[in-house]
Structure 1
Amino acid sequence: MTATRPALPRSLVQAMARGGRGRCPRCGQARLFARWLKPVDHCPACGQDWRGHCADDFPPYIAILVTGHVMAPVLIALGLETTLSAPVMMALCLVPTAGLVLGLLPVAKGAVIALQWWLGLHGFATAPGRDLVEK
């Protein structure tokens, strides 16, 4: 019986999409995160070591930037089209804003980890395509 080898992503976009979905960017088969934002040490499917990533503050910046661009028009429209007071508007927008930021954090972190892996940054010594030889 021959073991099938996980398919490497064909492009950076495919690797980042896998990471954004919380899957291993290398094989796309196993989960990338052991908990909400904690990546697994090694992929159980392909053996990729994920301890070398250094996402730091970039995923929160992405999540905040996207949330701001989504929620700013909502706040402006509420301010121009309604007679709600500012505290009421903030209370109405707090839940969707927090939900959007918290929902985007794992997506952004998975995509950033995939980007770092693809480019061979930080603890990832080789970019994909150069690691085709089994160790």
Structure 2
Amino acid sequence: MPDDHAHFAPVDPVSTGLRGLCPRCGQGKLFDGLVKPRARCTACDLDYGFADAGDGPVVFVILIVGFIVVGAALWAEVNFQPPLWLHFIVWIPLATILSLALMRMLKGVLINLQYRNKAGQGQIDRG
């Protein structure tokens, strides 16, 4: 039986990553749950074994969410002087929701870029 060498039109890794879609076909779901990648694509059967986002997205999420939440909290404190309990009620849930949403999107983009650029583990050539 001959191997099936299906060809897929190239998809934009950023837009498919932000939406959590397969890097090859752009149709199947990339995640099983919130940020855990599936084993395979449900549409094109691509093995997601290559996907290793590691802690890359976490660094960007910390910097982005920290900038937004701390900046907004400082602005609110300077302009309105709300009580401390109100800061906790507003900023902790906001930071949590933004972190989870951005983590999923950035992890999807990183996995899609790994596939697009054929990124792999580094090897030393010992000719």
What range is the shorter-chain TM-score in? 0.7 to 0.9
Partner of 1:130: none
TM-score, normalised via structure 2 length = 0.79
- Pick from 69, 76, 79 the counterpart of residue 77 of structure 2: 79
Partner of 2:9: 7
Partner of 2:124: none
- Pick from 45, 48, 52 the counterpart of residue 46 of structure 2: 48
Runs of 5+ unmatched residues, structure 1: 124-135
Q: CA deviation at 1:86?
A: 3.8
Runs of 5+ unmatched residues, structure 2: 1-5, 122-127
Partner of 1:34: 32
Across the two proteins, how many residue pairs are aligned to each other? 116
TM-score, normalised via structure 1 length = 0.75
Whichever residue aligns with residue 9 of structure 2, its letter is A
Whichever residue aligns with residue 8 of structure 1, its letter is P
- Pick from 89, 96, 99 the counterpart of residue 101 of structure 1: 99
- Pick from 18, 23, 26 the counterpart of residue 20 of structure 1: 18
Kept in 2, the 8 Å contact 1:15–1:118? The answer is yes
Among the aligned pairs, what percent are the same residue?
28
Partner of 1:57: 55
Highest RCO, 1 vs 2 (Cα 8 Å, sep ≥ 6): 2
Tell me the alpha carbon deviations over residues 32-63 of structure 1, each in whole angstroms, 9 at most, x when there is no partner. 11221111222132232211111111122222
